[in-house]
Structure 1
């Protein structure tokens, strides 16, 4: 753990991002974006992808259309993308350690939430195979939640989650895989642990309180949470 977690007081609640953190959906986003790029003779590669991880849909679409110089609007990009995503999302698998950590926290009565840039509809598609353990969360906050004014990197999603959990922001721990998500968590006044994509450089997460390369590297006791012996 690359961390300054020594300064963290006892954590009372945990908030999880979803895409690339709880569920392995980033590969689906890459595949679909490349399919669209192919239609226009463009190449979607890591130089672009690294800058869109964690963005809300509208912001992501604007960036991709401009970066690839696509002859469509951001709105048209999202319309083309939607059925391609809908077909693939129900096959999304869990990230290593995700289900075990969620079940551990729930079993020990730690308030837990999902704070995701996905829409409610997209959330339902992605969790098709995972309804049992996603049902353990005390609240799910999506980007189109009526109480959310702005998507990440704004703090709204995480602040809404904390409010619903009844826990002060400074007592919340956030797990995120994107720099934008870490920015949102820190703007909310929360502790943020980054779990980056393997290709992402640590330097992009200098604002995180810790960097791990897998959820299975997390030791809850370091944050005052019940100890977990990983299987």
Structure 2
């Protein structure tokens, strides 16, 4: 998209800025189980990004629940509200909002959530989100929610620009369709990893906002890289079970985990990162970690390949925690996940040098396993 210029940015909320899907994961399944029903994951994936009123009516119908859509909403919404404070900003989000606000780029928030729920969700964020947005719109502020274009046309109008000069950042196909219908340019950061091909209507598809390049859209470039490394808000990955095989000065790990809790990494994390690995009986080591998704079997499976920077004795089945504090690059050759996850010598050099810099090394003393 080199040469494309925009004058304003419109952001979706759930799944784009906030990891609300992960924070509230399991609620619908739990609710349905109380009524003797089994959640259909395929149906729920297709509802991603819909208006709550629309999805509530469909859920009641699809699962033949003994209640009205209004009664369903009244019963389940308190369960969601209890979890919203746990929803964290997705990687690269706070960085992007601060950057655009600092440079005076008109910024809007446009979500299919109702306005009161939006206000509640963003109130839990300490990064001053509310003051950064010139316009905040919910699905109840327009006649038709996404996938209709109304909310993006209204956001552009309130920003004082034409929709064609806006860049929309979305995670759901419903939102991407709405933005394209409004005539806006669209960057998709899909929250469902096994459906990337459906997002081809977007102008650009990213795995993470860490890969977003403002200059591609005529916006001011980021200036926060430090010697080919990007500082990130620390990501802690706990309770991995690791095997290690030493190869000279590099130690290669194979890891397994059945963990799917909210404390694990968000789904929108992909690329080569660096930080520290703490191994139960061996201590703490510098590490470069590649993270991606294996889609070869038609389902999305999280894949991770950490490499220790330094020698460590071979071990089997030990508990390991990772603290990732920096980002190096996106994955290449993703059609072959084994090749994509390979950590290069340049990655190792960048990670090792960065972890000695004040920008990154201070995290070691404040890490959860220091």
TM-score by length of 1: 0.91
Partner of 1:37: 32
Corresponding residue for residue 180 of structure 2: 186
The answer to which structure, 1 or 2, has the higher relative contact order (CA under 8 A, 6+ apart) is 1
Q: Is the 8 A contact 2:24 2:84 kept in 1?
A: no
1:211 Cα offset (Å): 0.7
Equivalent position of 1:53 in the other structure: 48
What is the match of residue 328 of structure 2? none
Q: Displacement of 1:92 after TM fit?
A: 1.5
Contact 2:153–2:182 at 8 Å: present in 1 too? yes
Q: Aligned partners of 1:217, 1:200: CA distance in 2, in Å?
A: 19
* Equivalent residue, structure 1, for 2:75: 80
Please show how residues 1-231 of structure 1 align to structure 2 within 5 Å: 5-6=1-2, 9-130=4-125, 132-145=128-141, 148-229=142-223, 230-231=230-231
CA distance in 2, matches of 1:212, 1:201: 13
Contact kept? 2:8, 2:105, Cα under 8 Å: yes
SS of 2:46's equivalent in the other structure is coil
How much has 1:197 moved relative to structure 2?
1.1
Point out where structure 2 has 5 or more consecutive residues left out of the alignment: 224-229, 232-370
Q: Distance in 2 between the 1:204 and 1:43 partners?
A: 27
Give the structure with the larger helix fraction: 1
Quickly say closer, same or farther: Cα 1:100–1:20, change in 2 above 3 A. Answer: same
- The total of aligned residue pairs comes to 224
SS of equivalent residue, structure 1 residue 140? strand
Verify the 8 A CA contact 1:91 1:128 in the aligned structure 2.
Answer: no
More strand by share: 2
> For the residues of structure 1 that align with 2:125 and 2:65, how far apart are their CA atoms?
35
Question: Stretches of 4+ moved more than 6 A in 1?
Answer: none
In 2: Cα distance, 1:39 partner to 1:199 partner: 29
| 1:136-186 deviation line (CA, Å, top 9, x unaligned) | 1111011122xx111111111111110111111100000000000001101
**2: CA distance, partners of 1:60 / 1:143:** 13
57-66 or 109-118, larger mean C-alpha shift: 57-66
Larger radius of gyration: 2
RMSD of aligned residue pairs (Cα, Å): 1.6
What are the ranges of 5 or more consecutive residues in structure 1 without an aligned counterpart? none
